[in-house]
Structure 1
Amino acid sequence: MTTVNIDIVSDIACPWCAIGYARLERAMKELEDEMAFNIEWHAFELNPDPSGDGEPILPALSRKYGRGEDEMRANQSQMMAIAHGLGLNFEKLQERHTRNTFDAHRLVKWAGELGKQTEMKMACFEAYFGRAENISDASVLVKCAESIGLDGDEARAVLDSDRYADVVREDEARYQQAGVSAVPAYIVNQQYLISGAQEPDALVRAFREIASES
Protein backbone atom coordinates (compact mmCIF):
# COMPACT_ATOMS: atom_id res chain seq x y z
CA MET A 1 0.00 0.00 0.00
CA THR A 2 1.44 3.34 -1.10
CA THR A 3 0.99 6.33 1.21
CA VAL A 4 0.17 9.63 -0.46
CA ASN A 5 0.39 12.89 1.47
CA ILE A 6 -1.72 15.77 0.15
CA ASP A 7 -1.42 19.34 1.41
CA ILE A 8 -4.54 21.21 0.26
CA VAL A 9 -4.30 24.99 -0.02
CA SER A 10 -7.82 26.37 -0.07
CA ASP A 11 -10.23 28.97 1.20
CA ILE A 12 -13.58 28.32 2.88
CA ALA A 13 -15.03 31.10 0.70
CA CYS A 14 -13.99 29.30 -2.52
CA PRO A 15 -16.74 27.19 -4.15
CA TRP A 16 -14.26 25.38 -6.38
CA CYS A 17 -12.38 24.30 -3.25
CA ALA A 18 -15.47 22.47 -2.00
CA ILE A 19 -16.10 20.98 -5.44
CA GLY A 20 -12.43 20.06 -5.76
CA TYR A 21 -12.42 18.18 -2.48
CA ALA A 22 -15.60 16.27 -3.38
CA ARG A 23 -13.88 15.19 -6.60
CA LEU A 24 -10.73 14.31 -4.66
CA GLU A 25 -12.82 12.13 -2.34
CA ARG A 26 -14.10 10.18 -5.34
CA ALA A 27 -10.55 9.69 -6.62
CA MET A 28 -9.37 8.52 -3.20
CA LYS A 29 -12.31 6.09 -3.01
CA GLU A 30 -11.35 4.60 -6.37
CA LEU A 31 -7.76 4.15 -5.19
CA GLU A 32 -8.50 2.88 -1.68
CA ASP A 33 -7.12 -0.59 -2.44
CA GLU A 34 -3.88 0.85 -3.82
CA MET A 35 -3.11 3.91 -1.71
CA ALA A 36 -3.58 5.40 1.73
CA PHE A 37 -4.07 9.16 1.81
CA ASN A 38 -3.10 11.71 4.45
CA ILE A 39 -4.80 15.10 4.07
CA GLU A 40 -3.76 18.39 5.64
CA TRP A 41 -5.55 21.68 4.97
CA HIS A 42 -3.74 25.00 4.59
CA ALA A 43 -5.11 28.53 4.64
CA PHE A 44 -5.67 30.94 1.77
CA GLU A 45 -7.81 34.10 1.93
CA LEU A 46 -9.66 35.28 -1.16
CA ASN A 47 -10.90 38.27 0.84
CA PRO A 48 -8.16 39.16 3.36
CA ASP A 49 -9.85 42.41 4.43
CA PRO A 50 -11.58 41.77 7.78
CA SER A 51 -13.34 45.15 7.86
CA GLY A 52 -16.92 45.80 6.84
CA ASP A 53 -19.93 43.53 6.75
CA GLY A 54 -19.32 42.00 3.34
CA GLU A 55 -21.35 42.65 0.20
CA PRO A 56 -23.71 40.55 -1.93
CA ILE A 57 -21.66 38.03 -3.91
CA LEU A 58 -22.99 38.71 -7.44
CA PRO A 59 -22.12 42.43 -7.65
CA ALA A 60 -18.84 41.71 -5.87
CA LEU A 61 -17.88 39.07 -8.46
CA SER A 62 -19.10 41.30 -11.28
CA ARG A 63 -16.79 44.08 -10.18
CA LYS A 64 -13.85 41.73 -9.53
CA TYR A 65 -13.97 40.11 -12.97
CA GLY A 66 -15.31 43.06 -14.97
CA ARG A 67 -18.32 41.10 -16.20
CA GLY A 68 -22.06 41.56 -15.91
CA GLU A 69 -24.09 40.21 -13.01
CA ASP A 70 -26.10 38.02 -15.37
CA GLU A 71 -22.93 36.26 -16.47
CA MET A 72 -21.86 35.83 -12.84
CA ARG A 73 -25.31 34.43 -12.00
CA ALA A 74 -25.02 31.94 -14.85
CA ASN A 75 -21.55 30.88 -13.68
CA GLN A 76 -22.81 30.39 -10.14
CA SER A 77 -25.79 28.37 -11.40
CA GLN A 78 -23.41 26.10 -13.28
CA MET A 79 -21.38 25.59 -10.10
CA MET A 80 -24.56 24.77 -8.18
CA ALA A 81 -25.39 22.05 -10.71
CA ILE A 82 -21.88 20.58 -10.47
CA ALA A 83 -22.02 20.66 -6.68
CA HIS A 84 -25.44 19.00 -6.61
CA GLY A 85 -24.07 16.16 -8.73
CA LEU A 86 -21.34 15.64 -6.15
CA GLY A 87 -23.75 15.62 -3.21
CA LEU A 88 -22.77 19.10 -1.96
CA ASN A 89 -25.22 21.64 -0.57
CA PHE A 90 -24.77 24.83 -2.61
CA GLU A 91 -28.41 25.95 -2.30
CA LYS A 92 -27.56 29.49 -1.12
CA LEU A 93 -24.48 30.02 -3.27
CA GLN A 94 -25.90 33.14 -4.92
CA GLU A 95 -27.34 34.58 -1.71
CA ARG A 96 -24.11 34.73 0.29
CA HIS A 97 -22.00 37.80 1.00
CA THR A 98 -18.25 38.21 0.66
CA ARG A 99 -16.63 37.20 3.94
CA ASN A 100 -13.23 37.19 5.56
CA THR A 101 -12.25 33.65 6.61
CA PHE A 102 -9.27 34.23 8.90
CA ASP A 103 -11.07 33.12 12.08
CA ALA A 104 -12.56 30.14 10.27
CA HIS A 105 -9.04 29.08 9.27
CA ARG A 106 -7.97 29.38 12.91
CA LEU A 107 -10.78 27.07 13.94
CA VAL A 108 -9.83 24.57 11.24
CA LYS A 109 -6.31 24.48 12.71
CA TRP A 110 -7.75 23.91 16.18
CA ALA A 111 -10.02 21.14 14.90
CA GLY A 112 -7.00 19.55 13.24
CA GLU A 113 -5.38 19.04 16.64
CA LEU A 114 -8.52 17.13 17.64
CA GLY A 115 -8.48 14.96 14.52
CA LYS A 116 -11.40 16.74 12.85
CA GLN A 117 -9.78 19.17 10.43
CA THR A 118 -11.58 17.93 7.32
CA GLU A 119 -14.91 17.73 9.16
CA MET A 120 -14.53 21.34 10.29
CA LYS A 121 -13.73 22.46 6.76
CA MET A 122 -16.81 20.66 5.41
CA ALA A 123 -19.03 22.19 8.11
CA CYS A 124 -17.82 25.67 7.13
CA PHE A 125 -18.44 24.98 3.43
CA GLU A 126 -21.97 23.82 4.28
CA ALA A 127 -22.69 26.90 6.39
CA TYR A 128 -21.45 29.32 3.73
CA PHE A 129 -22.59 27.74 0.46
CA GLY A 130 -25.58 25.80 1.74
CA ARG A 131 -27.06 28.32 4.17
CA ALA A 132 -25.35 31.63 3.21
CA GLU A 133 -24.33 32.12 6.83
CA ASN A 134 -21.73 34.67 7.89
CA ILE A 135 -18.64 32.51 8.31
CA SER A 136 -16.70 35.42 9.76
CA ASP A 137 -19.14 35.48 12.69
CA ALA A 138 -17.98 33.66 15.84
CA SER A 139 -21.44 32.31 16.66
CA VAL A 140 -21.72 30.67 13.23
CA LEU A 141 -18.26 29.13 13.59
CA VAL A 142 -19.07 27.81 17.06
CA LYS A 143 -22.19 26.12 15.64
CA CYS A 144 -20.03 24.58 12.90
CA ALA A 145 -17.73 23.14 15.57
CA GLU A 146 -20.64 21.80 17.59
CA SER A 147 -22.17 20.20 14.47
CA ILE A 148 -19.14 17.90 14.18
CA GLY A 149 -19.11 17.02 17.86
CA LEU A 150 -16.55 19.52 19.14
CA ASP A 151 -16.99 21.54 22.31
CA GLY A 152 -18.64 24.89 21.59
CA ASP A 153 -17.16 26.59 24.64
CA GLU A 154 -13.67 25.53 23.62
CA ALA A 155 -14.28 26.79 20.08
CA ARG A 156 -15.49 30.12 21.47
CA ALA A 157 -12.39 30.36 23.67
CA VAL A 158 -10.16 29.89 20.62
CA LEU A 159 -12.02 32.58 18.70
CA ASP A 160 -11.92 34.99 21.64
CA SER A 161 -8.12 34.62 21.75
CA ASP A 162 -5.43 34.99 19.10
CA ARG A 163 -4.59 31.28 19.13
CA TYR A 164 -3.55 29.84 15.77
CA ALA A 165 -3.32 33.33 14.24
CA ASP A 166 0.44 32.97 13.72
CA VAL A 167 -0.02 29.45 12.33
CA VAL A 168 -2.55 30.68 9.75
CA ARG A 169 -0.36 33.63 8.71
CA GLU A 170 2.69 31.36 8.38
CA ASP A 171 0.60 28.95 6.32
CA GLU A 172 -0.52 31.70 3.95
CA ALA A 173 2.98 33.16 3.59
CA ARG A 174 4.61 29.77 2.96
CA TYR A 175 2.36 28.84 0.07
CA GLN A 176 2.31 32.32 -1.44
CA GLN A 177 6.10 32.23 -1.47
CA ALA A 178 5.91 28.80 -3.09
CA GLY A 179 3.93 30.35 -5.93
CA VAL A 180 0.38 29.34 -5.05
CA SER A 181 -1.78 32.23 -6.26
CA ALA A 182 -5.08 30.43 -6.90
CA VAL A 183 -7.02 27.73 -5.10
CA PRO A 184 -7.60 24.89 -4.72
CA ALA A 185 -4.00 23.73 -5.01
CA TYR A 186 -2.81 20.26 -4.03
CA ILE A 187 0.82 19.62 -3.13
CA VAL A 188 1.38 15.87 -3.35
CA ASN A 189 4.18 14.33 -1.29
CA GLN A 190 5.61 17.85 -0.86
CA GLN A 191 6.84 17.65 -4.45
CA TYR A 192 4.10 17.72 -7.08
CA LEU A 193 1.59 20.54 -7.60
CA ILE A 194 -1.90 19.87 -8.94
CA SER A 195 -3.86 23.08 -9.53
CA GLY A 196 -7.61 23.53 -9.71
CA ALA A 197 -10.68 21.38 -9.05
CA GLN A 198 -9.61 18.48 -11.26
CA GLU A 199 -12.03 15.72 -12.26
CA PRO A 200 -11.70 12.43 -10.33
CA ASP A 201 -10.30 10.47 -13.29
CA ALA A 202 -7.58 13.09 -13.83
CA LEU A 203 -6.63 12.86 -10.16
CA VAL A 204 -6.53 9.06 -10.27
CA ARG A 205 -4.14 9.17 -13.24
CA ALA A 206 -1.97 11.79 -11.51
CA PHE A 207 -1.73 9.81 -8.27
CA ARG A 208 -0.84 6.60 -10.10
CA GLU A 209 1.82 8.42 -12.07
CA ILE A 210 3.26 9.99 -8.94
CA ALA A 211 3.24 6.62 -7.14
CA SER A 212 5.09 4.99 -10.04
CA GLU A 213 7.82 7.64 -9.82
CA SER A 214 8.27 7.37 -6.06
Structure 2
Amino acid sequence: MNTSDSPLRIDIISDVMCPWCIIGYRQLAKALDATSVEHEVHWHPFELNPNMPPEGQDGVEHIAEKYGATPEQSKANRKQMTDLGDQLGFEFGFQDGFRMHNTFNTHQLLHWAEDQDRKHDLKMALFTAHFTNRRDLSDNAVLADIAGEIGLDRDEALAVLSDQRFAKNVRDIENFWVQQGIQGVPAVVFDRQHLVTGAQGVENYTSILNQLAKTDA
Protein backbone atom coordinates (compact mmCIF):
# COMPACT_ATOMS: atom_id res chain seq x y z
CA MET A 1 0.00 0.00 0.00
CA ASN A 2 1.33 3.38 -0.98
CA THR A 3 1.71 5.92 1.81
CA SER A 4 1.61 9.68 1.52
CA ASP A 5 5.37 9.99 2.14
CA SER A 6 6.41 7.51 -0.57
CA PRO A 7 6.06 7.79 -4.36
CA LEU A 8 3.25 6.00 -6.15
CA ARG A 9 4.59 2.81 -7.70
CA ILE A 10 3.49 2.35 -11.30
CA ASP A 11 4.29 -0.96 -13.01
CA ILE A 12 3.85 -0.93 -16.78
CA ILE A 13 3.83 -4.19 -18.71
CA SER A 14 4.42 -3.47 -22.39
CA ASP A 15 6.11 -4.25 -25.68
CA VAL A 16 7.82 -1.71 -27.94
CA MET A 17 5.96 -3.24 -30.90
CA CYS A 18 2.69 -2.04 -29.35
CA PRO A 19 1.54 1.40 -30.56
CA TRP A 20 -1.06 1.65 -27.82
CA CYS A 21 1.73 1.19 -25.25
CA ILE A 22 3.47 4.43 -26.21
CA ILE A 23 0.11 6.20 -26.64
CA GLY A 24 -1.00 5.00 -23.20
CA TYR A 25 2.29 5.99 -21.60
CA ARG A 26 2.20 9.48 -23.13
CA GLN A 27 -1.37 9.88 -21.86
CA LEU A 28 -0.35 8.72 -18.40
CA ALA A 29 2.67 11.04 -18.41
CA LYS A 30 0.41 14.02 -19.17
CA ALA A 31 -1.89 13.00 -16.32
CA LEU A 32 1.08 12.68 -13.97
CA ASP A 33 2.25 16.16 -14.95
CA ALA A 34 -1.22 17.58 -14.41
CA THR A 35 -1.65 16.02 -10.98
CA SER A 36 1.97 16.39 -9.78
CA VAL A 37 1.74 12.95 -8.19
CA GLU A 38 5.13 11.80 -6.95
CA HIS A 39 5.75 8.47 -8.66
CA GLU A 40 8.21 5.88 -9.86
CA VAL A 41 7.69 3.92 -13.10
CA HIS A 42 8.84 0.33 -13.49
CA TRP A 43 8.77 -1.20 -16.99
CA HIS A 44 8.21 -4.94 -17.48
CA PRO A 45 8.50 -7.17 -20.57
CA PHE A 46 5.72 -8.64 -22.67
CA GLU A 47 6.06 -10.16 -26.14
CA LEU A 48 3.16 -9.52 -28.48
CA ASN A 49 4.70 -11.77 -31.13
CA PRO A 50 6.85 -14.42 -29.43
CA ASN A 51 6.72 -16.70 -32.48
CA MET A 52 7.61 -14.00 -35.02
CA PRO A 53 10.34 -15.18 -37.43
CA PRO A 54 13.68 -13.31 -37.46
CA GLU A 55 12.84 -11.41 -40.64
CA GLY A 56 9.65 -10.02 -39.10
CA GLN A 57 6.39 -9.55 -40.95
CA ASP A 58 4.68 -6.81 -42.89
CA GLY A 59 2.53 -4.85 -40.44
CA VAL A 60 -0.71 -4.86 -42.45
CA GLU A 61 -0.32 -8.56 -43.20
CA HIS A 62 0.37 -9.27 -39.54
CA ILE A 63 -2.70 -7.39 -38.30
CA ALA A 64 -4.87 -9.12 -40.89
CA GLU A 65 -3.53 -12.53 -39.85
CA LYS A 66 -3.71 -11.92 -36.10
CA TYR A 67 -6.91 -9.88 -35.77
CA GLY A 68 -8.72 -10.37 -39.07
CA ALA A 69 -8.51 -6.67 -39.94
CA THR A 70 -9.05 -5.63 -43.55
CA PRO A 71 -6.53 -3.28 -45.21
CA GLU A 72 -9.13 -0.50 -44.90
CA GLN A 73 -9.58 -1.14 -41.17
CA SER A 74 -5.82 -1.26 -40.69
CA LYS A 75 -5.45 2.07 -42.50
CA ALA A 76 -8.18 3.66 -40.35
CA ASN A 77 -6.56 2.32 -37.17
CA ARG A 78 -3.20 3.72 -38.19
CA LYS A 79 -4.73 7.12 -38.88
CA GLN A 80 -6.38 7.09 -35.45
CA MET A 81 -3.08 6.21 -33.79
CA THR A 82 -1.18 8.80 -35.82
CA ASP A 83 -3.68 11.50 -34.83
CA LEU A 84 -3.44 10.52 -31.16
CA GLY A 85 0.34 10.51 -31.44
CA ASP A 86 0.28 14.04 -32.88
CA GLN A 87 -1.78 15.21 -29.90
CA LEU A 88 0.72 13.63 -27.51
CA GLY A 89 3.91 14.77 -29.24
CA PHE A 90 4.82 11.38 -30.67
CA GLU A 91 5.31 10.77 -34.39
CA PHE A 92 4.15 7.53 -35.97
CA GLY A 93 5.87 6.80 -39.27
CA PHE A 94 3.40 4.25 -40.63
CA GLN A 95 4.04 3.67 -44.34
CA ASP A 96 3.82 0.81 -46.79
CA GLY A 97 6.35 -1.81 -45.78
CA PHE A 98 6.19 -1.05 -42.04
CA ARG A 99 7.24 -4.26 -40.30
CA MET A 100 6.62 -5.99 -36.98
CA HIS A 101 9.38 -7.89 -35.18
CA ASN A 102 9.99 -10.20 -32.25
CA THR A 103 11.29 -8.28 -29.23
CA PHE A 104 12.88 -10.87 -26.95
CA ASN A 105 16.35 -9.39 -27.48
CA THR A 106 14.95 -5.89 -27.06
CA HIS A 107 13.64 -6.86 -23.62
CA GLN A 108 17.02 -8.33 -22.71
CA LEU A 109 18.71 -5.05 -23.60
CA LEU A 110 16.18 -3.16 -21.48
CA HIS A 111 16.87 -5.51 -18.57
CA TRP A 112 20.58 -4.71 -18.89
CA ALA A 113 19.87 -0.96 -19.01
CA GLU A 114 17.91 -1.17 -15.76
CA ASP A 115 21.08 -1.81 -13.75
CA GLN A 116 22.40 1.49 -15.10
CA ASP A 117 19.17 3.34 -14.28
CA ARG A 118 18.59 3.96 -17.99
CA LYS A 119 15.75 1.55 -18.70
CA HIS A 120 13.14 4.28 -19.15
CA ASP A 121 15.40 6.28 -21.48
CA LEU A 122 16.13 3.23 -23.59
CA LYS A 123 12.45 2.26 -23.69
CA MET A 124 11.53 5.68 -25.08
CA ALA A 125 14.37 5.52 -27.60
CA LEU A 126 13.21 2.10 -28.79
CA PHE A 127 9.62 3.28 -29.28
CA THR A 128 10.93 6.15 -31.42
CA ALA A 129 13.32 3.91 -33.31
CA HIS A 130 10.54 1.49 -34.25
CA PHE A 131 7.52 3.69 -34.82
CA THR A 132 9.06 6.98 -35.96
CA ASN A 133 12.25 5.90 -37.71
CA ARG A 134 11.23 2.39 -38.76
CA ARG A 135 14.47 0.80 -37.60
CA ASP A 136 14.77 -2.98 -37.44
CA LEU A 137 14.66 -3.92 -33.76
CA SER A 138 15.32 -7.58 -34.58
CA ASP A 139 18.85 -6.60 -35.66
CA ASN A 140 21.28 -6.77 -32.72
CA ALA A 141 23.57 -4.21 -34.32
CA VAL A 142 20.67 -1.75 -34.56
CA LEU A 143 19.76 -2.37 -30.92
CA ALA A 144 23.37 -1.80 -29.85
CA ASP A 145 23.46 1.39 -31.94
CA ILE A 146 20.36 2.72 -30.17
CA ALA A 147 21.90 1.95 -26.78
CA GLY A 148 25.05 3.80 -27.83
CA GLU A 149 23.06 6.77 -29.06
CA ILE A 150 21.67 7.40 -25.57
CA GLY A 151 25.09 7.12 -23.97
CA LEU A 152 25.24 3.43 -23.04
CA ASP A 153 28.22 1.26 -23.94
CA ARG A 154 27.53 -0.03 -27.45
CA ASP A 155 30.09 -2.85 -27.27
CA GLU A 156 28.70 -4.08 -23.97
CA ALA A 157 25.15 -3.88 -25.35
CA LEU A 158 26.18 -6.04 -28.29
CA ALA A 159 27.86 -8.52 -25.95
CA VAL A 160 24.69 -8.76 -23.84
CA LEU A 161 22.67 -9.59 -26.95
CA SER A 162 25.27 -12.00 -28.32
CA ASP A 163 25.66 -14.14 -25.21
CA GLN A 164 21.99 -13.91 -24.13
CA ARG A 165 23.04 -13.55 -20.49
CA PHE A 166 19.68 -12.13 -19.46
CA ALA A 167 17.47 -14.49 -21.45
CA LYS A 168 16.34 -16.50 -18.42
CA ASN A 169 15.73 -13.37 -16.34
CA VAL A 170 13.50 -11.88 -19.02
CA ARG A 171 11.63 -15.12 -19.63
CA ASP A 172 10.98 -15.51 -15.90
CA ILE A 173 9.61 -11.95 -15.64
CA GLU A 174 7.42 -12.43 -18.71
CA ASN A 175 6.04 -15.65 -17.25
CA PHE A 176 5.38 -13.96 -13.90
CA TRP A 177 3.12 -11.35 -15.48
CA VAL A 178 1.33 -13.92 -17.63
CA GLN A 179 0.67 -15.89 -14.44
CA GLN A 180 -0.83 -12.72 -12.94
CA GLY A 181 -3.38 -12.77 -15.76
CA ILE A 182 -1.80 -10.26 -18.11
CA GLN A 183 -2.82 -11.27 -21.64
CA GLY A 184 -2.49 -7.98 -23.48
CA VAL A 185 -0.71 -4.65 -23.23
CA PRO A 186 -0.45 -1.94 -22.14
CA ALA A 187 -1.24 -3.11 -18.63
CA VAL A 188 -0.62 -0.65 -15.81
CA VAL A 189 -0.61 -1.61 -12.14
CA PHE A 190 -0.89 1.25 -9.66
CA ASP A 191 0.35 0.76 -6.11
CA ARG A 192 0.82 -3.00 -6.73
CA GLN A 193 -2.93 -3.59 -6.62
CA HIS A 194 -4.97 -1.56 -9.14
CA LEU A 195 -4.78 -2.97 -12.69
CA VAL A 196 -5.74 -0.76 -15.63
CA THR A 197 -5.55 -2.15 -19.17
CA GLY A 198 -5.39 -0.36 -22.50
CA ALA A 199 -4.64 3.26 -23.31
CA GLN A 200 -7.19 5.01 -21.08
CA GLY A 201 -6.78 8.62 -22.16
CA VAL A 202 -5.41 11.60 -20.23
CA GLU A 203 -8.74 12.34 -18.53
CA ASN A 204 -9.24 8.81 -17.23
CA TYR A 205 -5.65 8.50 -16.02
CA THR A 206 -6.01 11.85 -14.25
CA SER A 207 -9.17 10.62 -12.56
CA ILE A 208 -7.44 7.40 -11.47
CA LEU A 209 -4.48 9.32 -10.04
CA ASN A 210 -6.73 11.73 -8.17
CA GLN A 211 -8.73 8.83 -6.75
CA LEU A 212 -5.56 7.10 -5.56
CA ALA A 213 -4.36 10.35 -3.99
CA LYS A 214 -7.61 10.65 -2.03
CA THR A 215 -7.35 7.04 -0.88
CA ASP A 216 -3.84 7.62 0.45
CA ALA A 217 -4.61 10.99 2.02
TM-score clears 0.5: yes
Which residue of structure 2 aligns with residue 131 of structure 1? 133
Native 8 Å contact 2:187 2:196 kept in 1? yes
Q: CA deviation at 1:95?
A: 3.6
The residue matched to 2:100 in structure 1 has which SS? coil
Q: CA deviation at 1:93?
A: 6.0
| 1:75-118 deviation line (CA, Å, top 9, x unaligned) | 11211111121111212365421200000001111111111111
Indicate which of 111, 114, 122 corresponds to 1:112: 114
Native 8 Å contact 2:54 2:138 kept in 1? no
Q: What TM-score do you get using the length of structure 2 for normalisation?
A: 0.93
Change (3 A) 1:25 1:94: farther
The residue matched to 1:51 in structure 2 has which SS? coil
The residue matched to 1:134 in structure 2 has which SS? coil
Residues 1-214 of structure 1 mapped to structure 2, 5 A cutoff = 3-32=7-36, 35-92=37-94, 95-214=97-216
User: RMSD over aligned Cα, in angstroms?
Assistant: 1.4
Give ranges in structure 1 of 5+ residues lacking alignment: none
Give ranges in structure 2 of 5+ residues lacking alignment: none
The residue matched to 2:11 in structure 1 has which SS? strand
Give the percent of matched residue pairs that are identical in Structure 1 and Structure 2.
Answer: 36
| 1:106-153 deviation line (CA, Å, top 9, x unaligned) | 111111111111110111111110111111111111111112111111
1:43 alignment partner AA: P
1:174 alignment partner AA: F
What count of residue pairs does the alignment treat as equivalent?
212
Native 8 Å contact 2:185 2:197 kept in 1? yes
Q: What TM-score do you get using the length of structure 1 for normalisation?
A: 0.94
Greater than 3 Å deviation, 4+ residue runs = 92-95
